[in-house]
Structure 1
């Protein structure tokens, strides 16, 4: 009995641990609310369709930039620029709005799963099937969700360039960063495996007690 009580004390969360988890939950809720507020503002901005700033990515073409002194120009490689479109048609605004809606749903699912995971940890049980499901749901949703957001943002950017330049510029690109998604998928797999193994070991240990 003394050994079991000692083991329980060693496995119990300290006040500092609990305070940290509670702070994490509060911070997560605040971050989610802030990001959702930004997304809603962006949806309203896109829905209005006038004077909409859109971030455009280019293929690194050289352009002439004016100097602040001397009246000359300098050649620079253009990778990104923000274009403010006077008006945007539905072919541009709809993908942008869809992207923002997906981002809201992704944020809610990811932050919600992490907060539920933290609450479960506060109860003293870290490894179980529910927590494993929460970790995998958060990881997969974040990976797929933000990739979809990126896709629709590229559609918005390319449509904006076509509208603003009357199809005169075709060097807007759809950017894909495969290494980032591969790395994220690997990390999610490692964390998910750790929770699966931890759950199995904990159930085996409980069966021996």
Structure 2
């Protein structure tokens, strides 16, 4: 019998399984994500219904370089303040703004649900002890991409709704085009998503290299 025939079969290196406490923590994370997804869906559906009725619609809006008065002085005296955010009440929105509002709500619902589903699949893999793999890397990357696009698209459509409300209230005489997108939050989220995807990609590469050495 040759020496090679006596060698035991090589088994791939196994990743350590998660403890019961860690597994419960992951499933609690999944449950919290499910609650967020359901709340987002309910709020989005109610918003879509309000927009489709198109009667007495409340529209959040941001302002730039706009002053207003508020009764915050002595004995309720009017004091000039700089307006940052406000909620506009419009009798009816233009059709384009209604469509944009529906898309804003739909993007929020779809993005939140997709991210929660992807992270749930990831947690299931982690609980089973499969931490670093190409599948997990794809799940993390996809969740990050969906989050970034959702965080960028929803404010874009929301800005269209606000512009329609401004145009209807001022008869086109008030120009206040402000994009309600927090770049710092978007950049930070993009960095975190890219970092997480890189960690899983490097971990998967190390795992495959270790499998080849065992």
Matched, 1:196 2:198: no
Which position in structure 2 is the counterpart of 1:128? 133
Q: Could you tell me which residue of structure 2 aligns to residue 20 of structure 1? A: 25
> Structure 1 runs of 4+ off > 4 angstroms?
none
Which whole-Å CA distance do the structure 1 matches of 2:30 and 2:192 have between them? 22
Residues 176, 19 of structure 1: alpha-carbon distance in 2 compared, 3 angstrom cutoff: closer
CA contact (8 A) 1:18 1:122 kept: yes
Contact 2:69 2:79 in 1 (8 A): yes
Secondary structure of the structure 2 residue equivalent to 1:11: coil
Cα drift, residue 189 of structure 1? 1.6
Work out whether residues 115 and 146 of structure 2, in 8 Å CA contact, stay in contact via their aligned partners in 1: yes
CA contact (8 A) 1:56 1:172 kept: no
Choose from 178, 183, 187 the match for 1:178.
Answer: 183
Q: CA–CA distance in 1 between the matches of 2:178 and 2:33?
A: 33
Q: Which residues of 2 match residues 1-209 of structure 1 at below 5 A?
A: 11-67=16-72, 70=75, 72-209=77-214
Structure 2 segments unaligned to the other structure (5+ residues): 1-12
Q: Over residues 47-96 of structure 1, what are the superposed CA-to-partner deviations in whole Å (9 max), with x where a residue is unaligned?
A: 11011111110003222223476352101010011011112221211101
What secondary structure, in the 3-state scheme, does the structure 2 residue paired with 1:167 have?
coil
Per mean C-alpha deviation after superposition, the further-off stretch among 53-62 and 164-173 is 164-173
The size of the alignment, in residue pairs, is 202
Asked if the contact 1:161–1:172 (Cα under 8 Å) also holds between the matched residues in 2, the reply is: no
Which range moves more in the overlay, 190-199 or 169-178?
169-178
TM-score, with normalisation over the residues of structure 1?
0.90
Structure possessing the higher relative contact order (Cα contacts under 8 Å, 6 or more residues apart): 2
SS at the partner of 2:66?
strand
Q: Distance in 1 between matches of 2:204 and 2:25?
A: 23
Q: CA RMSD in A?
A: 1.8
